[in-house]
């Protein structure tokens, strides 16, 4: 079997985009309403590698909201807000959404926000956050969402880089066991930044009201009420398809932040194509992306893509477990008739850890539910197989990045489900010409590990540049392999064209001259029946260069001696990968240190193990988890103090 012989419509669609990308994407662009429809699909001489739809103009808010509110979907629910942490539920129709966004946009215009201005949002998962993003888009302003509760110094460098005219913020965020005060963090960030926003619009939440700064801060509800009382409502402002819709800073950056720019036209075209063709979701159906608007997944598949496609999107302010239990997602799926759930592998592993038998699933009617999609980090085959078994539905691992804005590879449900290969993210989406290269930039044979790269130009939806720096865009992504975008991910492509992402290129370790994937070792560890999740890092070794060390979290209820389990894990890696892996150290830990988006902090763990200086990452979800890693390493005579 080759890519051309795969079943369904995928081979034909992919080939048509490869053969004539201009015709393919101009046809896809017809899914949108344009103020001026593009006649050219691509301008190769514009920007670092080219720009999509250079002669088109449109408005993102009109396409996501107004065209539905003014048409047959006016009374359809656009947003289902479900907040188990506050006990709040709210349903917002497309008509109500348009009215809320238009009035908020008028309030922003009263603060001087107009086309091209930047607005930073520092918000939790509440409807007003979506109103704010869409209100910026309505005015032609550029929004930049910073994860709510992000550290003050990290927020400060983003304020300084984006130079926002206004900041939209909430007084606090709500976690299952605590209230996180946002306003003191915002005040500290503004004090530390050389750029000072002209105004801050503050949403006062009753769980933690904030003190407003006179002359700078405005009460959100009062500003909106004043605009509504005056009968003010902002219209949609057409912008060039090449104009930025938003800036999204890559997580964990320090110093000069790296602001990924998302253009308007190419992004909307790509998202509109992906909903029916990749996710297999139709207008009017309910789509649940269990992410956060602080991350690219939330931008694309909580906000813009479902609304563009006329779907109902679920805005969930809660956790996969603990709000109240491991059945939280299944309750949401059943209650709202969700057809497609998109979450991170770490959320799935958390559910699996607490409910390994899948007993909570039986509590809910999932008859409308068709597909589970996973992305954000590598999905271990054992967890995918577990979810397939307990759900009885296709479980699709797919792969993309903040920079690409929409999936690079996946199993296109809308074009016909392809054979699933556990561990693989399946096939590239149209427009992505994906290759695996060696260190010299030469393509490698099928099945050979190397750096995954995408031949230029990137398809619509991907970053055209970095905020304020075409040159940094070139040096960061385009210089290593001329003619390609360097994903910095390592992996293989098999003879069928299936892509397997093994991890970041810095997760490839060199053991006595052998290049080995920590992701491959993690897959072996995760297949042990007692393991809920795991991470493997390379530790510096004077003899072999590096040796692997595995950290494992056990499933709830496992009461066997950890020493016995650790011995079994070492033997399992030796049996399945071979002695070449030199895998001799497995450590059981209570939890793994992760970012708020669920990514395991492998690089920081490695610095601790290598006795190198390290700092507490701004994006960490639970700082105590890093201390536990350090303690477990020191117990074996490895590691360093902070």
Tens digits of residue pLDDT in 163-187:
999 999 999 999 888 999 999 999 9
Average pLDDT over residues 61-88: 98
> Which pLDDT does position 15 carry in this prediction?
97
Contact at 8 Å (CB) between 187 and 154? no
Contact at 8 Å (CB) between 547 and 582? yes
* CB half-sphere exposure, 80, CA atoms < 13 A: 23
Contact at 8 Å (CB) between 431 and 27? no
For residue 626, pLDDT over 70 is answered with yes
Structure tokens at 444: 């490698």
pTM equals 0.85
> Which pLDDT does position 512 carry in this prediction?
64
DSSP letter at 544 equals: T
Contact at 8 Å (CB) between 545 and 401? no
- Cα 519 from Cα 535, distance rounded (Å): 8
- Radius of gyration (C-alpha) of the chain in whole angstroms: 24
| Residue 467: CB atoms within 10 Å | 24
Contact at 8 Å (CB) between 337 and 359? no
CA dist 322 → 175, 623, 642 (Å): 10, 19, 31
The CATH number assigned to the domain with range 512-634 reads 3.30.300.30
Provide CB contacts within 8 A for 323, sequence distance 6+: 84, 85, 176
Within its chain, how far is the Cα of 14 from the centroid?
24
Provide CB contacts within 8 A for 171, sequence distance 6+: 181, 182, 183, 202, 203, 204, 205, 208, 209, 210
Within its chain, how far is the Cα of 31 from the centroid?
24
- Mean pLDDT, the chain, whole residue set: 93
Helices (H) and strands (E) in the chain, counts: 20, 31
E strand spans, 212-337: 217-219, 239-240, 244-249, 259-263, 286-289, 312-316
- Cα 298 from Cα 378, distance rounded (Å): 18
Within its chain, how far is the Cα of 248 from the centroid?
11
Rounded to the nearest 10 degrees, how much is the dihedral formed by the CA atoms of 387, 389, 394, 398? 30
- Cα 605 from Cα 540, distance rounded (Å): 12
For residue 545, pLDDT over 80 is answered with no
Provide CB contacts within 8 A for 7, sequence distance 6+: 416, 418, 419
> Which pLDDT does position 54 carry in this prediction?
98
- Identify the CA nearest to 382 among candidates 535, 557, 519, 532: 532
- Identify the CA nearest to 171 among candidates 119, 210, 217, 215: 210
Structure tokens at 334: 């059943």
CA dist 330 → 338, 372, 384 (Å): 9, 11, 17
pLDDT confidence of 506, banded at 50, 70, 90? low
- Cα 371 from Cα 361, distance rounded (Å): 14
- Cα 593 from Cα 601, distance rounded (Å): 6
Task: Please state the length of the chain.
Answer: 642
DSSP letter at 506 equals: G
For residue 641, pLDDT over 60 is answered with no
Q: Give me the percent of the chain exceeding a pLDDT of 90.
A: 77
> Which pLDDT does position 642 carry in this prediction?
43
Where do the structural domains in the chain lie, given as residue ranges? 512-634
| Residue 76: CB atoms within 10 Å | 17
- Cα 546 from Cα 29, distance rounded (Å): 49
Owner of token pair 């992906």: 274
* CB half-sphere exposure, 238, CA atoms < 13 A: 10
CA dist 54 → 406, 460, 485 (Å): 20, 12, 21
Query: Do the strands 427-428 and 409-410 form a parallel or antiparallel pair, or are they unpaired?
Result: antiparallel
> Which pLDDT does position 336 carry in this prediction?
98
CB neighbour class for 359 (10 Å; exposed up to 12, middle 13-18, buried from 19)? exposed
Q: Note the pLDDT tens digit of each residue in 384-421.
A: 999 999 999 999 999 999 999 999 999 999 999 999 99
Owner of token pair 């091209």: 116
pLDDT confidence of 254, banded at 50, 70, 90? very low
Owner of token pair 């560890």: 525
Contact at 8 Å (CB) between 250 and 272? no
Q: Note the pLDDT tens digit of each residue in 567-582.
A: 999 999 888 877 777 8
> Which pLDDT does position 161 carry in this prediction?
96
- Cα 201 from Cα 423, distance rounded (Å): 45
| SS3 state at 142 | strand
pLDDT confidence of 516, banded at 50, 70, 90? confident
Peptide bond preceding 324 in cis form (omega within 30 of 0) = yes
Secondary element (H or E) of residue 248: strand 244-249
- Identify the CA nearest to 114 among candidates 274, 243, 305: 243
Structure tokens at 590: 């209570």
Provide CB contacts within 8 A for 293, sequence distance 6+: 121, 123, 125, 129, 130, 133, 145, 299, 302, 303
pLDDT confidence of 553, banded at 50, 70, 90? very high
CA-CA-CA-CA torsion sign (11, 15, 21, 23): negative
Structure tokens at 121: 């949002």
CA dist 574 → 127, 229, 535, 544, 545 (Å): 50, 71, 17, 17, 19
DSSP letter at 256 equals: S
Q: Note the pLDDT tens digit of each residue in 467-490.
A: 999 999 999 999 999 999 999 998
* CB half-sphere exposure, 528, CA atoms < 13 A: 30
Contact at 8 Å (CB) between 463 and 403? yes
- Cα 477 from Cα 484, distance rounded (Å): 8
Within its chain, how far is the Cα of 142 from the centroid?
19
- Cα 631 from Cα 224, distance rounded (Å): 51
| SS3 state at 352 | helix
Structure tokens at 204: 């006062």
> Which pLDDT does position 603 carry in this prediction?
80
């Amino acid at each position: 079997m080759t890519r051309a012989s795969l079943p369904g419509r995928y081979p034909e669609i992919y080939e048509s985009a490869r053969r004539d990308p201009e015709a393919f994407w101009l046809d896809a662009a017809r899914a949108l309403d344009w103020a001026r429809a593009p006649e050219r699909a691509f301008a190769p001489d514009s920007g670092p590698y080219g720009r999509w739809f250079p002669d088109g103009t449109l408005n993102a808010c009109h396409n996501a909201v107004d065209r539905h509110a003014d048409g047959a979907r006016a009374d359809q629910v656009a947003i289902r807000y479900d907040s188990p942490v506050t006990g709040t539920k709210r349903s917002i129709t497309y008509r109500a959404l348009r009215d809320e966004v238009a009035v908020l946009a008028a309030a922003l215009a009263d603060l001087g926000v107009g086309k091209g201005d930047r607005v930073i949002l520092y918000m939790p998962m509440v409807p007003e956050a979506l109103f704010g993003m869409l209100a910026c888009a309505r005015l032609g302003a550029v929004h930049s969402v910073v994860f709510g509760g992000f550290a003050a110094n990290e927020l400060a460098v983003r304020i300084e880089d984006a130079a926002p005219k206004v900041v939209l913020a909430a007084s606090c965020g709500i976690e299952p066991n605590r209230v996180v005060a946002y306003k003191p963090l915002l005040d500290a960030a503004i004090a530390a930044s050389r750029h000072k926003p002209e105004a801050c619009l503050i949403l006062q939440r009753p769980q933690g009201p904030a003190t407003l700064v006179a002359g700078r801060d405005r009460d959100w509800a009062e500003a909106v009420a004043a605009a509504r009382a005056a009968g003010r409502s902002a219209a949609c402002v057409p912008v060039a398809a090449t104009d930025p819709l938003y800036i999204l800073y890559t997580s964990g950056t320090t110093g000069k932040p790296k602001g990924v720019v998302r253009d308007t036209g190419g992004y909307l075209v790509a998202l509109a194509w992906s909903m029916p063709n990749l996710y297999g979701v139709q207008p009017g159906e309910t789509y649940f992306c269990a992410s956060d608007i602080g991350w690219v997944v939330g931008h694309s598949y909580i906000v813009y893509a479902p609304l563009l496609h006329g779907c109902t999107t679920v805005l969930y302010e809660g956790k996969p477990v603990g709000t109240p239990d491991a059945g939280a997602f299944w309750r949401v799926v059943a209650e709202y008739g969700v057809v497609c759930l998109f979450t991170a592998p770490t959320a799935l592993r958390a559910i699996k850890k607490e409910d390994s038998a899948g007993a909570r699933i039986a509590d809910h009617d999932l008859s409308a539910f068709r597909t589970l999609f996973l992305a954000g980090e590598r999905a271990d085959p054992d967890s995918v197989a577990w979810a397939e078994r307990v759900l009885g539905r296709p479980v699709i691992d797919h792969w993309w990045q903040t920079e690409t804005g929409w999936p690079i590879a996946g199993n296109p449900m809308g074009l016909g489900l392809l054979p699933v290969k556990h561990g693989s993210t399946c096939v590239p989406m149209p427009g992505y010409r994906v290759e695996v290269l060696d260190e010299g930039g030469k393509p490698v044979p099928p099945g050979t590990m190397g750096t995954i790269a995408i031949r230029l130009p990137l398809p619509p939806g991907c970053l055209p540049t970095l905020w304020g720096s075409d040159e940094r865009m070139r040096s960061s992504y385009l210089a290593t392999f001329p003619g390609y975008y360097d994903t910095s991910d390592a992996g293989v492509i098999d003879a069928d064209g299936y892509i397997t992402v093994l991890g970041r290129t810095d997760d490839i370790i060199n053991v006595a001259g052998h290049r080995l994937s920590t992701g491959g070792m993690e897959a072996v560890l995760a297949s042990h029946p007692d393991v809920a999740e795991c991470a493997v890092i390379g530790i510096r070794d004077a003899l072999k260069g590096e040796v692997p060390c595995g950290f494992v979290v056990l499933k709830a209820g496992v009461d066997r001696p950890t020493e016995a389990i650790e011995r079994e894990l070492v033997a399992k890696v030796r049996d399945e990968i071979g002695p070449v892996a030199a895998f001799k150290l497995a450590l059981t830990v209570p939890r793994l240190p992760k970012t708020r988006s669920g990514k395991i902090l492998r690089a920081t763990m490695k610095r601790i193990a290598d006795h190198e200086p390290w700092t507490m990452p701004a994006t960490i979800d639970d700082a105590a988890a890093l201390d536990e890693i350090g303690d477990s390493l020191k117990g074996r005579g490895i590691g360093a103090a902070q």
